Every structure is written in structure tokens, then in C-alpha cells.
Amino acid sequence: MSGNIELLSATLAKAKSEDRAALVAYLPAGFPTVDGGIEAIKAVIAGGADVVEVGLPHSDPVLDGAVIQTADDIALRGGVKIADVLRTVREAHAATGAPVLVMTYWNPIDRYGVERFATELAAAGGAGCILPDLPVQESALWREHAEKHGLATVFVVAPSSKDERLATITAAGSGFVYAASLMGVTGTRESVGNEAQELVRRTRATTELPVCVGLGVSNAVQAKEVAGFADGVIVGSAFVKLLLDAPDLPSGLAAVKALAGELAEGVRRG
């Protein structure tokens, strides 16, 4: 069975045709529970998210800030497994029709089996993987299986990436390019800054792929700012924090749906 890279590309193209940026939401699988995580994804899509990244919780999330680390810890203590991540993708996609990617560090896929993971992710209706710590020069095996199964391979670029390095990364990637707006870990920020706009400009000079910006966006004002220069706006920690702070799951679901609605207005640029 083939994965949904074409659905991902069509969704990003549709947003562009509407003269807006796509809203990409990140939520970890298994948080606050596996079922609760699936409901949270449905809620952000109902609120207006176009694409969802499902985080695969990891015991050493070096690129994630305190909010996502806390959620990952809750998921891991709850016993979340790769099978639960794949179930999350399957049920979220089946319920919404939206493109769903997995964001994961490389070690879990390597241990699970590259071909096995690609095969099962495609069978679950997944659109691809975001692989923040997989070096491009070591990615050939994954890319071979991803391409065979119709999955996107999304690499992360940072403000520190030199132009030649950007070209190497974007040539190897598919689906879109994840532009980290600043150096450091995930989390909400007071401002997104000029580094992100310059990184998008430099990245676009190397590729036709859409460029989506993440790290730091938490409200509609910031979403509008980023939508002015990027193809997609990625929001994670702000959604996760609402679920962490909520007194119960129904309150958390209502809060993330409402934030998705505000952000969806923000990315409409007008």
C-alpha cells in the first residue's frame, strides 16, 4: 500500500492557491493517552489545521523543549509503543482525511527496522516522516524505502546551515522543508525573529519544495507574521501546553480546537 505524500503535496498546494500558508500542528502520540492523543489531533484539524505531525515519544528528545519533553515523558510512562504511534496515524487520518506525518528521532526507526517502519506507516495512511537528527549523508536506506512506499522525507534546516549545505539537504528531501526558525529547542517564543525569514529566502533559492517554519509560533499574531514569508506555519508546544494545563481532557480538546481556529485565521495573511 502506498503512503500519502501526494495528499501532503496537494494540501500544501491548495493552501498556496488560496493565498495563505498551511497550518501544521504537532502533537505527540500517547499524550495524554493514546486515545486522548487521537482525539486531540481530530480537534486541531476540526479547528483548522491542514497537516498534522505526530511525535514519536523518545527518552532523549534533544531538540525538544521542556513542554514537549514533559508530554513525551507522560506518554512513555503510559507505555506508548511504535504500534500506538502507527495506530494514532491510522485513526487520525481515517477520521479526518488530513495528511499525517510522524516526527521522530532516527534511533527508534533504526531499531524497529527501516523497511518495516516505512511499510507499516504507509499502510496506516501516513504521509511521511520528519527526521530532525538523521544526517542526509546517512539517509539513503530510509529514502529508498520511503520513496518505494509513497512517503515524504522531511529534513530540518537551521539558520546555521550554509548555502551549500541547504542545497544538499533540500535535494534529498521531499514533501516540504522544515525550517527551524532559530537555533535551540522547541518552545513558544515572544517573537519569531528575522532569522526565520532569511532562512526561508535562502532555502527557497535551492528548491521548489514548500518551506514550513517551526519553533516558536504560539499565537495568531506570530502565525500571521510567519505566513507572510513561509508556505507553512508549524505549531507544537502551544498545543501541548494547553493539554498539559487543562483540568481534564474535554477542556484540553476544546482549548486546542480554539487555538487551531485562531492560528488558522492568522495564516490567512489578510
So which residues are the catalytic ones? 53, 64
Run of H or E including 197: helix 194-204
- The C-alpha cell that represents 198 in the structure block: 532569511
- Rg (the chain; Cα; Å): 17
Chain center to CA of 3: 16
DSSP state at residue 171: H
How far apart, in whole angstroms, are the C-alpha atoms of residue 255 and residue 243? Answer: 8
Exposed e or buried b for every residue in 137-164, given b needs 16+ CB within 10 A? eebeebbebbeebbbbbbbbbbbebeee
